[in-house]
Amino acid sequence: MHRACRLTHGIKTSKTKRKDERKLLSDDKRLSGKNRLTDSQIDKIHNYNGLAIRRNLNNVNAMGQAIWAIFMHKLPTDEHPHYGFCPIGENSWCGFKTAEATGSAYEHKNNLPLAVVEVMRPMFRDLFYPDLLKKCEHGNMENTNESGINVIWSCVPKSTFLQIEAFFLDAYDAVYTFNEGNSAKLQVHKNLGMQPREYTFQALKRLDKENLLRAKYAFSQRKEEGKTV
């Protein structure tokens, strides 16, 4: 997801810079390390941020609140819980709120030191701007140009050397396929004076059907992810 990746990239960049410079945080410890900001923690933040966006596609305020809830979730301790942004009730995605509603015990085990969380604050603050969140409304979570570029690179791998003419030909084919589907190649054949046979027609139709099924499956998986954490 484009917005989620933006946050993850910001956190990873901050981590790399501070690690290279060997700077100490306000608690006289480095950013990374045991019980600090690890790659695993960053990946979890990335996933939770994506869920926060997908769960609130039609409500910018709720989306922003959910993103801040992720930030606040890294602060709580048994003595000082910080769950004001989390939804209440036993069906809440927040484990603390669920335990609170059901009367169950809850152990704080995924929090980070305050000095580490403060380093992440600017990245969350930048992501919270309303104009940026509005771009995520109604499922507009990935830049269209980025989607098209992914299709081009699937047809023209970066690891394979091509003459510029061949590259442009494959790029045009990728863009045409991205916009119109594989079946659109039938018209290209006809324009080149080639008459597609039935097997070609069926093969391209099958590819389009498979792509559609994969897209539907991926969408259903994202919806399932949005139900539970």
Element (H, E) at 13: helix 2-21
Average pLDDT, the chain: 73
1 assigned to some structural domain? no
129 and 60 share a domain?
Answer: yes
% of the chain with per-residue pLDDT over 70: 64
Q: How many other β-carbons are positioned within 10 Å of the β-carbon of residue 73?
A: 23
Question: pLDDT digit string (tens) for 206-224?
Answer: 888 887 787 777 667 655 6
Q: What is the mean pLDDT of residues 24-39?
A: 84
169 assigned to some structural domain? yes
Q: What is the mean pLDDT of residues 37-42?
A: 81
35 and 122 share a domain?
Answer: yes
126 and 34 share a domain?
Answer: yes
* Helix locations, 55-160, DSSP H: 60-72, 95-102, 114-127, 130-134, 144-155
Q: Which of 81, 101, 136 is the last residue of a domain?
A: 136
Range of the domain at 122: 7-136
- Rounded to whole angstroms, the Cα distance separating 190 from 196 reads 7
DSSP string, 140-154: --S-HHHHHHHHHHH
Q: What is the mean pLDDT of residues 33-47?
A: 81
98 assigned to some structural domain? yes
2 assigned to some structural domain? no
Q: What is the mean pLDDT of residues 89-95?
A: 84
Amino acid identity, residue 57?
L
**49 contact partners, CB below 8 Å, separation of at least 6:** 1, 3, 4, 7, 8, 67, 70, 127
115 neighbors 41 (Cβ within 8 angstroms): no
39 and 132 share a domain?
Answer: yes
136 neighbors 53 (Cβ within 8 angstroms): yes
Q: Please tell me the predicted confidence (pLDDT) of residue 44.
A: 80
Element (H, E) at 220: helix 198-225
144 neighbors 138 (Cβ within 8 angstroms): no
Torsion of CA 200, 205, 206, 208, to 10 degrees: 130
- Rounded to whole angstroms, the Cα distance separating 128 from 114 reads 20
94 assigned to some structural domain? yes
Q: Please tell me the predicted confidence (pLDDT) of residue 101.
A: 92
70 and 122 share a domain?
Answer: yes
- Rounded to whole angstroms, the Cα distance separating 195 from 97 reads 64
Q: Please tell me the predicted confidence (pLDDT) of residue 10.
A: 54
40 and 130 share a domain?
Answer: yes
pLDDT grade, residue 102 (50/70/90)? very high
107 and 153 share a domain?
Answer: no
pTM of the complete model: 0.50
**Residue 125: is its pLDDT beyond 70?**
yes
Q: Which of 110, 136, 162 is the last residue of a domain?
A: 136
Q: Please tell me the predicted confidence (pLDDT) of residue 145.
A: 46
Q: Please tell me the predicted confidence (pLDDT) of residue 28.
A: 86
- The structural domain count of the chain equals 2
65 and 174 share a domain?
Answer: no
Q: Which of 87, 106, 136 is the last residue of a domain?
A: 136
